[in-house]
Amino acid sequence: MSRAAATPIEARDQSISANVFIRVALGQELGD
C-alpha cells in the first residue's frame, strides 16, 4: 500500500543540567 506522508517524528531539545554546593561565611551583622 502506498502512502503519502512519512512517519512524523519531531526532534526534541537536549537539557544540560548542573548542580553545585557552596558554603559561604556569614559576614557582618546588619545594622552594625
Partner 1 sequence: MKTTLTITTLATILAACATPATSSPPPPPQEAVGESWIQISGAAAVTVAADRAMVSFTMKTRASDASEAAGQNADAMTAVLDAMRAAGFNSLEIETFGYALNPEYSTTNNQRTREIIAYTVHNNVRTTIEDVDVVGRLVDTAIESGANRVAQISFFAADTEDARREALAMAVQGAREEGEVIASSLGYELGALSKSMAGRIGSHLSSIPMFRP
Binding positions for partner 1, rule: CB under 8 A: 6-9, 11-31
SS3 13: coil
* Least spacing, CB of residue 4 vs partner 1, in Å: 11
Quote the CA–CA distance of 26 and 29 in Å, as a whole number.
Answer: 8
The CA distance from 32 to 30, in Å, is 6
